[in-house]
Amino acid sequence: MKLVRSTLALAAIVFVSVTTLHAQDPLPSWNDTAPKKAIVAFVEKVTKEGSSDFVPPAERIATFDNDGTLWCEKPLPVQLFFTLDRVKALAPQHPEWKTKEPFASLLKGDLKGALAGGEHAILEMMTATHSGMTITEFEKIVADWIATAQHPKFKRPYTECVYQPMLELVAYLRANGFKTFIVSGGGIEFMRPWTEKVYGIPPEQVVGSSGKTKFEMRDGTPVLLKLPAVNFIDDKDGKPVGINEHIGRRPVMAFGNSDGDLEMLQWTAASSGSRYCLYVHHDDAEREYAYDRKDALAKLDKGWDEAVAKGWTVVSMKDDWKTIFPPEKK
Amino acid sequence: MKLVRSTLALAAIVFVSVTTLHAQDPLPSWNDTAPKKAIVAFVEKVTKEGSSDFVPPAERIATFDNDGTLWCEKPLPVQLFFTLDRVKALAPQHPEWKTKEPFASLLKGDLKGALAGGEHAILEMMTATHSGMTITEFEKIVADWIATAQHPKFKRPYTECVYQPMLELVAYLRANGFKTFIVSGGGIEFMRPWTEKVYGIPPEQVVGSSGKTKFEMRDGTPVLLKLPAVNFIDDKDGKPVGINEHIGRRPVMAFGNSDGDLEMLQWTAASSGSRYCLYVHHDDAEREYAYDRKDALAKLDKGWDEAVAKGWTVVSMKDDWKTIFPPEKK
């Protein structure tokens, strides 16, 4: 009996400590440096009723870029790894790819050659692998791939190469009444199968690039077919367009990591009322990757200058984050 | 003191009665006929944990057409009245309209002539009046118009020509964990300025037709400019496309009133799990309007046959609704 009581008492202490700790520190993976202080100060002022900075809950919109902001985008964006794997998987059905670039190089094992055509080559491979099936079939292809594919450096699923400090931030904002959205250049249908599980962000709060789809009846059953045509590119000056089309409100907080996010941050910062913008700066070659101004796929160049000029937060992953990735799953 | 006590007791009784009434009847403006019973039975089964029909809260998506389903679309769709008013307001800036159809007829007071060109004429007037300004400017134009314009027959604001039974239904579904969306052929930017206030549906849950927009910097301030080009038509086979693009889940319940909603209802009905589809049938010439199979702008023809064949609910406004519109605002 005494043991039971002691155990209960201990459990109570542990519970209280954890609760207190959590109440004191919603962002435990962030070092106690300027970015964390700025985030907490901002959230406290906009959620304080009666404050001149108060933002009503319905207007608390926070938008997050995905690649490089919520999860790792190096050595290549995850959707590009997916695309390359799909080209290989579909090659038997496409004998013409053996002699057609960029497919031919890739199938010979020459990744550099396949990517030499730049954005055009990437778009061609994406279009070829992201169309010709129903949205339901594509969802299953993505779900199956993401369940097994591994990051080449970290040797863990891509969905575990997400940034622990950002997971805490997303949860912290939601706990403070924010509706959290992804606004990514990545494919909307590539993200939706897993964002709810990984980030707690449901499909209807994912904004991304998309291909055209077509409604048709197949033996009396309606399907949406993915067509080989671009519908919308949710990148750069497309991000405010996507935000307006999908959300219809201007964000109160916006988070990015590259020039692809600059217009989203500008669009956020320039609206009336309290606004907050943040760039994640990849400067941790040891724990992740270091890249910025000159990066081929994810330049932080104009955005860096504007962040400095406007006083936006720039997070040093090296100095401001205690940990990068979540603990390994058993 | 006794009086105070009695008053408090009376207040308590009234409060209990109202609460009980509400608990018993979430749809007081619906007659106790088959549609109401079917709706309540469906909602009860999909929200009952442990039931084989249970739908988790995150998946409870309900989509509502707007024109003719949530508000009156006769004698003309409200956005068309808005468009006609805008043509008149903008005419001084467009001397060329005096000799150009459909503008010329309208400006001479010949509405029938202006609409003789059908959908093409309507689209031309809409494009001319819905572009050339920023989204913020357009939002104000809509808000100002909707605050003062009156329905020609009912002599009250259009936002009060909404269906009281449907307001109750939207609220009832939300109270049962549904996320309620508008999926309308109407303009997304024409609806968003007022749907939250009128239906409790926030901008991010409004799906509609849209024009293209363009991000640009004006004297260092970012704006989104409305261009004279169609981006997306959220009608007929466009509705499942819009639902997929904006929501990324298939609805559990869908509500419409015309063939423009048929594909949305088919898309809803054909997905796995418990699904519910309903058509509002306009058969009340006295309290509203009577129209269906042969209506020029809102045919309920193929949809009627499919509803009968599939056992979808068809609401008779005349027989199933106690009242049509909310009480007049003071």
Report the pLDDT value the prediction gives residue A329, as an integer from 0 to 100: 80
What is the percent of chain A where pLDDT is above 90?
A: 91
Distance CA A59, CA B12 (A): 36
B224 and chain A: CB distance < 8 Å anywhere?
A: yes
The pair of three-digit structure tokens given for residue A238, joined into one six-digit string = 């497309």
By CA distance, what is A224's nearest residue in B?
B241
pLDDT tier at A17 (50, 70, 90 boundaries)?
A: very low
Tell me: pLDDT of A55 over 80.
yes
In 3D, which of B199, B208, B206, B195 has the Cα closest to residue B173? B199
What is the percent of chain B where pLDDT is above 70?
A: 93
Report the pLDDT value the prediction gives residue B95, as an integer from 0 to 100: 97
Tell me: pLDDT of A1 over 50.
no
Distance CA B175, CA B161 (A): 23
Cβ-defined contact of B204 to A244 (cutoff 8 Å): no
Distance CA A150, CA B73 (A): 54
* pTM, entire model: 0.93
SS (H, E, C) chain B: CHHHHHHHHHHHHHHHHHHHHHHHCCCCCECCCHHHHHHHHHHHHHCCCCCCCCCCHHHCEEEECCECCCECCCCCCHHHHHHHHHHHHHHHHCHHHHHCCCHHHHHCCCHHHHHCCHHHHHHHHHHHHCCCCEHHHHHHHHHHHHHHCECCCCCCEHHHCECHHHHHHHHHHHHCCCEEEEEEEEEHHHHHHHHHHHHCCCHHHEEEEEEEEEEEEECCEEEEEEEEEEEECCCCCHHHHHHHHHCCCCCCEEEECCHHHHHHHHHHHCCCCCCEEEEEEEECCCCCCEECCCCCCCCCCHHHHHHHHHCCEEEEHHHHECCCCCCCCC
Interface with A, mutate which of B213, B223, B227, B245 (most A CBs under 10 A): B245
Tell me: pLDDT of A268 over 50.
yes
Mean pLDDT of all residues belonging to chain A: 94
Tell me: pLDDT of A315 over 70.
yes
Give yes or no for a contact between A242 and A183, defined as CB atoms under 8 angstroms apart: yes
Give yes or no for a contact between B302 and B266, defined as CB atoms under 8 angstroms apart: no
Q: Per-residue pLDDT tens for B202-243? A: 999 999 999 999 999 999 999 999 999 999 999 999 999 999
Tell me: pLDDT of A15 over 50.
no
Give yes or no for a contact between A244 and B213, defined as CB atoms under 8 angstroms apart: yes
Distance CA A294, CA A298 (A): 8
Report the pLDDT value the prediction gives residue B14, as an integer from 0 to 100: 46
Distance CA B45, CA B26 (A): 16
Give yes or no for a contact between B77 and B58, defined as CB atoms under 8 angstroms apart: no
Tell me: pLDDT of B17 over 80.
no
pLDDT tier at A6 (50, 70, 90 boundaries)?
A: low
Phi and psi, residue B213, nearest 5°: -125, 160
**Higher local confidence (pLDDT), B175 or A5:** B175
Q: Per-residue pLDDT tens for A145-162? A: 999 999 999 999 999 999
Mean pLDDT of all residues belonging to chain B: 94
Report the pLDDT value the prediction gives residue B1, as an integer from 0 to 100: 43
Question: B103: which residues sit within 8 A by CB, 6+ positions away?
Answer: B87, B91, B94, B97, B114, B125, B128
B50 and chain A: CB distance < 8 Å anywhere?
A: no
Tell me: pLDDT of B80 over 80.
yes
Report the pLDDT value the prediction gives residue B18, as an integer from 0 to 100: 46
B249 vs chain A: nearest CA distance in angstroms? Answer: 7
Report the pLDDT value the prediction gives residue A196, as an integer from 0 to 100: 98
A245 and chain B: CB distance < 8 Å anywhere?
A: yes
**Mean pLDDT on B82-104:** 98
Tell me: pLDDT of B6 over 60.
no
